[in-house]
Structure 1
């Protein structure tokens, strides 16, 4: 898999950038449009690079100061049906699916820490679904609430900020996580109070035996273990762009269901379930952050060696390609 780099390069950096890309054996289709850039004044430089080596090139471009004085845009082509692309892919170490572009991971973390309206709306709706799941004792609705909840990206952002020593990122993501859950729980609590006043929901409906959803407010050692595993899988999926694995992460942790159960318990004043719901929410969030930090630390330290060993062991590519 190739990735496309589009660089707006100030005149004073142009020779160094072009020399870097020309000398790199894993780049192709180098194009230089001299004087094409108006802001900054300079050249437009484009090339295609094997995904496995994009991170290395971005690091070197950053060292030249292009991230401060120019522009760097990385995109993924829909298809690259030419022989040169196949040669680059064969020659690149590892597999493109295993490549980690740390600049993209950090940028994604910053995006996940922004307090957008849509983020809050999705979390409120997910918490509301979880509350209804408690009332109806529906495991299907619990799963639905888990999938709708947007909080994992923010959890991953906290871990990313800690590993990369981005204190501002960590604090911003932590603040978003705390305030968004507080807001969602408050909204659903108000709705639960209104439903209680109209007789639609009662304390007995919340405290009665619930075979399908009783686990929500009963955290145990497995809650933490599952949170660790799900957090590790989620951060690995985000760092290697495996979006299809995220659904499994969403439906493995009990963050949103615990928030919904807590809101309902407060709204109907069912103290017996409040402490357990808070504990479940905390256990899952802490477990995911801990796992995220560990995975990112191990990836930064060992990932390239693991990928290389895997390539040797499993013969990742057919030589005929």
Structure 2
């Protein structure tokens, strides 16, 4: 269940209450008259099944409550209520399958910000991966994959394509391109410094590396894994199962490919530069394509249920 807290301007409360009462899957409707000072009006609260929330949010936004008042959504970790259980049963579909598009746009917008923290994590992940590719150490490669934050902008691009949000698309694309450019540039400098200390060498890069040679040798499996990771990543975001993102992060070789390209660039090994760059672009393209198709599929599936999930006449919210 999700908890909605609405600040409703004077004169709009009846409209909002009616929208809530018509929504299948709502419970615990409460109105506190005059509780809101900014804007002046009432406080309306209710609980709603996750699978019914997107439709209710759409109607509340159509009423302009997000512009004249406020809409806040919180996750309920524990709800001991027979009424809430009945409301969830009445709402068509499963909560785990529901997509909150407003929440998805907000999360991807935040995760695709070109911030110093984002650049720092991506650069550090690429440097860790550089150590892994030079030492042919799979453990360091996996660690670098887990640290990399690049899935945020990738998810932002997928969401922007489906929701037709050009601002989010440009924001995510800039974060992705600038992030990898900065990370690879810093990693090239890092590899030259490590070479100066005798920790990296051209011989180590050119040696047989059975554990990491796949990073600069892209093939069809690279695209397959990237596509599967894109599907898993978007499902983890839309179903609020964020823990699965760690598994997604360590399943694709975006950061290691960027690291290998950066180290090879420092030594002038352009064969590995182009191979690693190809691996990087292949993974990025596969994730974006698969992630976008996943969101389109989810949107189509929920559109077929819209009539059942939306408000039905004569259905009231449980108190």
TM-score (norm 2): 0.92
Which deviates more, 195-204 or 105-114?
195-204
The corresponding residue for 2:207 is 208
SS of the aligned residue for 2:11 comes to helix
The corresponding residue for 1:198 is 197
1:245-256 matches, within 5 Å, as: 245-256=244-255
1:161-200 matches, within 5 Å, as: 161-200=160-199
The corresponding residue for 1:263 is 262
Alpha-carbon displacement from aligned partner over 1:209-246 (angstroms, at most 9, x marks no partner): 10000000000111111111111111111111122322
The corresponding residue for 1:158 is 157
SS of the aligned residue for 1:243 comes to coil
User: Structure 1 residue 84: deviation in Å?
Assistant: 0.7
SS of the aligned residue for 2:243 comes to helix
User: Structure 1 residue 83: deviation in Å?
Assistant: 1.1
Check the 8 A contact 1:133/1:142 in 2, yes or no: yes
Check the 8 A contact 1:157/1:173 in 2, yes or no: yes
The corresponding residue for 1:113 is 112
User: Structure 1 residue 96: deviation in Å?
Assistant: 1.3
Where in structure 1 do 4 or more consecutive aligned residues deviate above 6 Å?
none
1:74-89 matches, within 5 Å, as: 74-89=73-88
User: Structure 1 residue 91: deviation in Å?
Assistant: 1.6
Gap change, CA 1:41 and 1:205, over 3 Å in 2: same
Check the 8 A contact 1:196/1:267 in 2, yes or no: no
Higher relative contact order (CA 8 A, sep 6+): 2
SS of the aligned residue for 1:242 comes to coil
SS of the aligned residue for 2:44 comes to strand
1:238-249 matches, within 5 Å, as: 238-249=237-248
The corresponding residue for 1:63 is 62
1:106-145 matches, within 5 Å, as: 106-145=105-144
The corresponding residue for 1:312 is none
CA distance in 1, matches of 2:24, 2:160: 33
SS of the aligned residue for 1:6 comes to strand
SS of the aligned residue for 1:253 comes to coil
SS of the aligned residue for 1:78 comes to coil
Indicate whether 1:297 and 2:277 are aligned: no
The corresponding residue for 1:276 is 275
User: Structure 1 residue 62: deviation in Å?
Assistant: 0.7
1:31-110 matches, within 5 Å, as: 31-110=30-109
Check the 8 A contact 1:55/1:100 in 2, yes or no: yes
1:1-40 matches, within 5 Å, as: 2-40=1-39
SS of the aligned residue for 1:282 comes to helix
CA distance in 2, matches of 1:70, 1:113: 27
**Alignment length (residue pairs):** 307
CA distance in 1, matches of 2:2, 2:199: 55
Check the 8 A contact 2:24/2:91 in 1, yes or no: no
Alpha-carbon displacement from aligned partner over 1:169-211 (angstroms, at most 9, x marks no partner): 1011000000011001111111111222333211111111100
Alpha-carbon displacement from aligned partner over 1:46-68 (angstroms, at most 9, x marks no partner): 11111110101001101101111
CA distance in 2, matches of 1:304, 1:96: 15
